[in-house]
Amino acid sequence: MVKRNENIAKLQAGYLFPEIGRRKKALLEKEPDAKLISLGIGNTTEPLSTHIVEGLNKEVTKLGTPEGYTGYDDDAQAQAFLDKLKSRISKNWYNDIISPDEIIVSDGSKPDCGRLFFLFGSDVSIAVQDPAYPVYVDGSVMIGATGKYNSDTEEFNDIEYMRCTSENDFFPDLSKAKRTDLIYICSPNNPTGAVATKEQLKELVNFAKKNSSIIIFDAAYSEFIKEKGLPRSIFEIEGARECAIEVSSLSKPAGFTGVRLGWTIVPKELKFDDGESVGKDWQRVMGTLFNGSSNIAQWGAIAALSETGLSEIKEKVNYYMENAKIIKDGLEGLGIKTFGGVNSPYIWAAFPGKKSWDVFEEILTKAHVVTTPGAGFGKAGEGFVRFSAFGKTSDIKEAVKRLQENL
């Protein structure tokens, strides 16, 4: 028999969403006629927009022709598509603050987070926001970078958990944070819905530079920022090019959760302590573990990042943000304090003094609405429940009505 990987054995309590699935199933076994509405998982519901589908169709048909066929991206035609995509990401997404050769296209930001663990290995120390999107902690556990699990504190010994609460506007108090090699920051944040301001990110960049740390900035929800003046990318901040990597994706704004297209940006200035280029090693990791994003997804992305595609993305984002407003207003109308939901598709609802799994269960059983318990994202998520705005507006309205009638 083969010995189990002890790092995988350290993972705590399965994954949050399977547990939610188990509880949903249990409810449906008790009440088979219950019509559950999910405001839990952040999965997109709206179909791909017209221009993107046209872009896909046109190129996919060519795959069936001798002239239009492409395989791995080392042939000239495939390279030309990839170059076109990178140049659109650089120009139309980043307003040229990033150069195309600093963009490595992938199949999404979560897989890139996974591969980043190979880039840094198990010898790095990490800091995460608490609460946080689970991949940063679970991936670090899997690679063996987190030390032992402490069952008293219910945390890993070698992770620096940076509490994000309403007292610090859900952004870490860096004056209290320990120095680590890597600092994971997500803005707009999943789950709290908070968006870091320019001042907060300046402080973060200064902190990282002072400590020779690298920030891993997850910008998967940047397109949901509506208010002017809020940074959509860490690279809008002076000095970030020497201390940050950014992961991003078309999953949420363009509905590419199934199509799969994302990217990671590693600026040329980013170096390891021996002076070697981080970007060069990232290329090596990607070349070894990944064989390029699907050519089909790339064609969809080229269409999505055209002028028409981008205006369709705006419409889609507006649709979800209308949902966010309905949820936020509905909860506030019930006297529930909420955060987020203005520049992010997540509403972070406070239930002080209550356990978040109890609130989840109460909402599930009374209103047949599925949410995500805050504690699943970390200790500081206790007492909160996350509502996701990804859904059909008719379902969102019905869910809010049920909350109003049953809570």
- Binding status of residue 109 toward ligand PLP by CB under 6 A: yes
Tell the smallest beta-carbon distance from residue 120 to ligand PLP (Å): 18
- Binding status of residue 192 toward ligand PLP by CB under 6 A: no
Tell the smallest beta-carbon distance from residue 327 to ligand PLP (Å): 17
Adjacency order of strands within the sheet including 384-388: 338-340, 346-350, 384-388, 372-373
Tell the smallest beta-carbon distance from residue 259 to ligand PLP (Å): 10
Distances (CA, A) of 13 to 151, 161, 223: 12, 18, 32
Tell the smallest beta-carbon distance from residue 190 to ligand PLP (Å): 4
- Binding status of residue 131 toward ligand PLP by CB under 6 A: no
Which tokens in the block code for residue 279?
């970007």
Site string for ligand PLP, 278-317 (x = CB under 6 A): ----------------------------------------
Collapse the DSSP code of 149 into the 3-class scheme (helix H, G, I; strand E, B; otherwise coil) and give the result: strand
- Binding status of residue 88 toward ligand PLP by CB under 6 A: no
Tell the smallest beta-carbon distance from residue 386 to ligand PLP (Å): 11
Stretch that binds ligand PLP, among 106-114, 231-239, 308-316, 358-366 (CB under 6 A): 106-114
Q: How far apart are CA 260 and CA 252, in angstroms?
A: 10
Q: Which of 94, 120, 133, 339 binds ligand PLP (CB under 6 A)?
A: 133
Nearer CB in complex with ligand PLP: 249/298: 249
- Binding status of residue 38 toward ligand PLP by CB under 6 A: no
Tell the smallest beta-carbon distance from residue 249 to ligand PLP (Å): 3
- Binding status of residue 93 toward ligand PLP by CB under 6 A: no
Nearer CB in complex with ligand PLP: 155/218: 218
Q: How far apart are CA 338 and CA 335, in angstroms?
A: 9
Contacts of 341 (CB under 8 A, 6+ apart): 193, 324, 325, 327, 328, 347, 348, 387, 389
Contacts of 176 (CB under 8 A, 6+ apart): 162
- Binding status of residue 110 toward ligand PLP by CB under 6 A: yes
With tokens 């790092």, the residue in question is 7
Sites for ligand PLP among residues 335-374 (CB under 6 A) = none
Strand partners for 394: none
- Binding status of residue 218 toward ligand PLP by CB under 6 A: yes
Which tokens in the block code for residue 231?
């940074």
CB-based burial of residue 163 (10 Å sphere; 0-12 exposed, 13-18 middle, 19+ buried)? middle
**Positive or negative torsion for Cα 59, 61, 65, 69:** positive
The contact set with ligand PLP (CB under 6 A) reads 42, 108-110, 133, 186, 190, 218, 220, 249, 251, 257, 262
